[in-house]
Amino acid sequence: MKKKALFIIPPDRYNEEELNIPKDILTKAGVEVTVSSTKKGEITGDGKVITKSTSIFNEEDMAKYDVIAVIGGSGTIDHLWNNKELIDYLKDAYNKKILITGICAGSCVIAQTGLLKGRKGTCYPVENMIDELKKADVTYLTDHVVKHDDIITSDGPMGAKDFGETLVGVLK
């Protein structure tokens, strides 16, 4: 059976590298990647590259996915941090044994679920994001990728390739 990934991006100002590098790596490995957001249609990234969200994330049947990734970007802080619908969706997916992952500011959303409490994680190395991890009782590491069996976090564009490769390795 073909593996499937759901990549959730903010409705504007997603990070192009954090979306496209892992997406390309997964696609080349035969993983079907769906890009979703809080809205459907064209979404402009931080670098003005336009991508398309084909669905609204909470309308997606999470059971058909092997992994869910929350992608970073400046819009993630504004639109996805503390987003109750997203946090509940991620907790529900986690309880259904779906791999939960985040990159950059998306890692902070994962921390906000409480699922990383007392564990290690990473995010983009800036104070507001590191503080968000610490606030959720997550030990911040400077690694590009921090992998647990059930949750993976990544630091941002500099770790996007490692993030994609780690996801492929887990999905094999």
- Helix 105-112 with 127-135: angle, nearest 10 deg: 20
Confidence of residue 172 (pLDDT cuts 50, 70, 90): confident
pLDDT-above-90 percentage for the chain = 99
- Asked if 159 contacts 103 with a C-beta cutoff of 8 angstroms, the reply is yes
Q: Which contiguous run of DSSP H or E holds residue 41? A: strand 41-44
Q: What is the mean pLDDT of the chain?
A: 97
Burial class (CB in 10 A: 0-12, 13-18, 19+), 84: exposed
Residue 169: which residues within 8 A CB-CB, separation 6 or more? none
pLDDT at 73 over 80: yes
pLDDT in tens, 46-63: 999 999 999 999 999 999
- Mean of the pLDDT values across residues 23-47? 98
- pLDDT of the residue at 75: 98
- Strands across the sheet containing 145-147: 55-56, 32-37, 4-8, 67-70, 99-103, 151-154, 145-147
pLDDT at 1 over 80: no
Confidence of residue 91 (pLDDT cuts 50, 70, 90): very high
Count CA atoms within 13 Å of residue 56 on its CB side.
5
CA 69/CA 31 separation, integer angstroms: 13
Q: Which of 134, 116, 122, 130 is nearest to 158 (CA)?
A: 122
- pLDDT of the residue at 19: 98
pLDDT at 100 over 90: yes
- pLDDT of the residue at 28: 97
pLDDT at 40 over 90: yes
